[in-house]
């Protein structure tokens, strides 16, 4: 499984529509998707999955986003979290291998039958070309794993051991499956870092990310009065104890915690700067109209990914449905 900073052929967006949970704020969230589509398609190919592609074309046209670098695939969908229902791509010696895992709505919390069928339909339609690997007997979401491209997988125990994923399998059995299915050499487990308001049971891409040069970029909390402080401090200690495949400590780069964001009912939302996306030539990262924190996060990502452009995308709309930028995208690495 290549690292996210490996050269990419395209990125997938699964577009919001009236039958998704975005319906009550569709115009607001579409503005974020339009910004994402423009940022991605200006740098690499973009795949947009939607039940009505003509509506999406019209939306992009109204916002002056060209479609010459966009492929559209018409398909019924439940929701928009491409990170978790999209293919996980492995690169072999010849062609890409598109691994299709089961997506069951983060442990059967939400209906996901249509989203779970997207990959098979895309492959049958020739949207992706390579080898199809059916791993749909195993529940795995793309947001729950990170790869350094050299055989190390980073994940969280709170997610992979959560109810309604792969029970009655236990940790050792799940790790063996990950090693086999992802052709990995080792798995690093984090036991802390589950953000308040997170529906995923603690996806690693919300709190800790792998970066080049044996680096881990992670969410840090410096406010002792923050209810997430203790858990994130424990995660920081655990990251400090991890070792690379060569037995060396990881280089640690701390992202700030956004100031708490709440929904209309006063419930805290899982805002994080760790939910960034690496694409060809750039890092797209979520911003939350918090100038000081947004700027600090950009500086950290600049240090983590030298030479790449750091581009902020306003994700205040996405966070209202408990996700952010990385959650709604899935990259497809470039094979031979």
State yes or no: cis peptide before 168, omega within 30 of 0.
Answer: yes
Residue 3 within any structural domain of the chain: no
The number of helix segments (H) and strand segments (E) in the chain equals 10, 18
Residue 212 within any structural domain of the chain: yes
Residue 1 within any structural domain of the chain: no
Which residue reads 């299915």 in tokens? 181
What pairs with residue 72 in β-bridges?
48
The tens-digit pLDDT sequence of the chain (336 residues) is 999 999 999 999 999 999 999 999 999 999 999 999 999 999 999 999 999 999 999 999 999 999 999 999 999 999 999 999 999 999 987 789 999 999 999 999 999 999 999 999 999 999 999 999 999 999 999 999 999 999 999 999 999 999 999 999 999 999 999 999 999 999 999 999 999 999 999 999 999 999 999 999 999 999 999 999 999 999 999 999 999 999 999 999 999 999 999 999 999 999 999 999 999 999 999 999 999 999 999 999 999 999 999 999 999 999 999 999 999 999 999 987
Query: Whole-prediction pTM value?
Result: 0.97
CATH number at residue 95: 3.75.10.10
| SS3 at position 174 | helix
**Nearest by Cα to 214 from 247, 250, 254, 189:** 250
Residue 23, both tokens:
């319906």
d(CA 144, CA 150) in angstroms, rounded, equals 18
What pairs with residue 208 in β-bridges?
218
Residue 286 within any structural domain of the chain: yes
State which residues form the domain around 260.
8-333
Residue 232 within any structural domain of the chain: yes
Residue 69 within any structural domain of the chain: yes
**Nearest by Cα to 176 from 153, 196, 209, 197:** 153
Residue 257 within any structural domain of the chain: yes
Residue 178 within any structural domain of the chain: yes
Number of domains the chain contains: 1
């Amino acid at each position: 499984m290549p690292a996210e900073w490996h050269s990419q052929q395209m990125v997938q967006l699964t577009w919001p529509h009236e039958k998704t949970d975005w319906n009550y704020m569709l115009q607001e969230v579409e503005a974020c998707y339009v910004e994402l589509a423009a940022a991605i398609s200006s740098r690499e190919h973009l795949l947009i999955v939607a039940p009505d592609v003509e509506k999406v074309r019209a939306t992009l046209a109204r916002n002056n986003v060209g479609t010459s670098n966009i492929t559209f695939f018409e398909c019924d969908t439940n929701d928009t979290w491409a990170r978790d229902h999209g293919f996980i791509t492995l690169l072999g010696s010849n062609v890409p291998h598109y691994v299709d895992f089961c997506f069951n709505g983060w442990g059967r919390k939400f209906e996901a039958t249509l989203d779970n069928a997207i990959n098979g339909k895309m492959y049958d339609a020739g949207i992706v070309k390579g080898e199809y690997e059916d791993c749909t007997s195993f529940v795995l979401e793309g947001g729950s794993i990170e790869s350094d491209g050299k055989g190390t997988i980073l994940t969280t125990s709170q997610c992979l051991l959560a109810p309604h994923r792969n029970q009655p399998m236990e940790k050792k059995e799940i790790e063996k499956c990950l090693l086999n299915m992802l052709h990995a050499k080792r798995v690093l487990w984090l036991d802390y870092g589950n953000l308040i308001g997170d529906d995923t049971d603690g996806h690693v891409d919300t709190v800790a990310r792998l970066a080049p040069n044996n680096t881990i970029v992670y969410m840090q909390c410096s406010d002792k009065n923050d209810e997430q402080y203790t858990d994130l401090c424990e995660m920081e200690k655990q990251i400090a104890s991890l070792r690379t495949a060569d037995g060396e400590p990881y280089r640690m780069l701390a992202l700030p915690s956004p100031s708490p964001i709440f929904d209309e009912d006063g419930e805290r939302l899982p805002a994080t700067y760790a939910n960034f996306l690496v694409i060809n030539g750039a890092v797209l990262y979520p911003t939350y109209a918090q100038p000081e924190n947004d700027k600090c996060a950009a500086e950290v990502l600049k240090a983590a990914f030298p030479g790449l452009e750091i581009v902020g995308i306003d994700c205040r709309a996405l966070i209202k449905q408990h996700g952010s930028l990385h959650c709604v995208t899935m990259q497809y690495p470039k094979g031979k």
